[in-house]
Amino acid sequence: SEAEKLLSEAVPEARYDQLRNAINDISSRVSQVELLNSLIEHAGRFAPKGTFFILRNDEFSAWKGFGENSSTDGALPDVKLPASADTVLGDAVRSVATVESSYGSHSDDEQFLTPLNFGRPDRMYAIPLMARGRAVAVLYADYGSAGISLNIEALETLVRVAGLTGELRAATKPVIAPAGSKDASVQ
């Protein structure tokens, strides 16, 4: 009975209705900021804490957080670190895949864990957000201090939907003909 109890505590509840609603909400967003805000909001339903990092000019910049240790608006301290650093974030970008790690596995994880007050997580994940075949951001999540369940499959799905939605929005921007041309009414 103890083994069954441990197994039932370790398996996160599927909550398909929440996943469906999150996918619908994320994919309905028009602007990139709305899309990413929606991703962060919904990620908080599938993990106790995390941070979304933007990758720009080979540098990670913490953009917004969710869950434990984050403010009500998700604002974060100014955390920047090179993509080349030995972190779970950099590993996810280089491998272009979700990376599961633990504290101490990457020598430079302290560069973001300490300023974000994330402590020493024994299980942490980095999920790259892809656009045009390359990682442009990373969603970091861990189990937090309460050991609440984390649904990595749901997080991977949300990040994938956000990436695809962003690409679709960029590819389908309306084309507006220059003023004065005979096709000026085409939008």
Looking at residue 144, its pLDDT comes to 79
How far apart are alpha carbons 121 and 102 in whole angstroms? 6
How far apart are alpha carbons 39 and 34 in whole angstroms? 9
**147 phi/psi in degrees, rounded to 5:** 70, 25
How far apart are alpha carbons 183 and 187 in whole angstroms? 9
pLDDT at 88 over 90: yes
**pLDDT 10s digits, 8-32:** 555 455 678 999 999 999 999 999 9
Looking at residue 184, its pLDDT comes to 47
- Cα torsion at 171, 172, 173, 176 (round to 10°)? 120
